[in-house]
Amino acid sequence: MNIRSDTELPPATREWGWKFHHLGVPTDRVMPGERYLPRYKFFVSGFESSPFGIEWMRFEKDSPVHPLIREVPHLAFVVEDLEEELTKRKFTVIGEPGEPSEGIRTAMIEYDGAPVELMEFTQ
């Protein structure tokens, strides 16, 4: 096991080339500027205005999204090739690859009990 010092970036950014995109935070509150994603039955907001990339997510009770994603905040990273990262790193996939918005492919993985979103921009 490699031990990372306090001053080192994590391997995902330092070695693998992933780029931080946002922090997704589940909430029960109605937030300003919500946009609805009918396929996943949840509302997103905040990303466009947050200087830190914080995205609020409010789920409907019957949302098909994995419970871990609905309950635990997640980090999201941009990757060059989504399929390659999923194959190369052999992550546990908890949200199958899909296109939540035009020009964006995503997949949700679980790592040590935490959800992580991988994003590939296709346009």
CA angle 87, 93, 98 (to 5 degrees): 90
Q: What is the pLDDT of residue 1?
A: 61
Q: What tens digit of pLDDT does each residue of 27-44 get?
A: 999 999 999 999 999 999
Residues 39, 84, 110, 101, Cα dihedral to 10° = -20
Range from 20-24, 94-98, 116-120 carrying the lowest mean pLDDT: 94-98
How far is it, in rounded angstroms, from Cα 89 to Cα 87? 6
Q: What is the pLDDT of residue 12?
A: 95
- CATH code linked to domain 11-121: 3.10.180.10
**What single letter denotes the amino acid at residue 22?**
H
Q: What is the pLDDT of residue 35?
A: 95
pTM: 0.91
Q: Residue ranges of the domains in the chain?
A: 11-121
Would the pLDDT of 11 be above 80?
Answer: yes
Average pLDDT over residues 95-102: 87
Q: What is the pLDDT of residue 2?
A: 73
Residue 96's alpha-carbon distances to 9, 63, 119, in angstroms, are: 28, 15, 12
Would the pLDDT of 50 be above 80?
Answer: yes
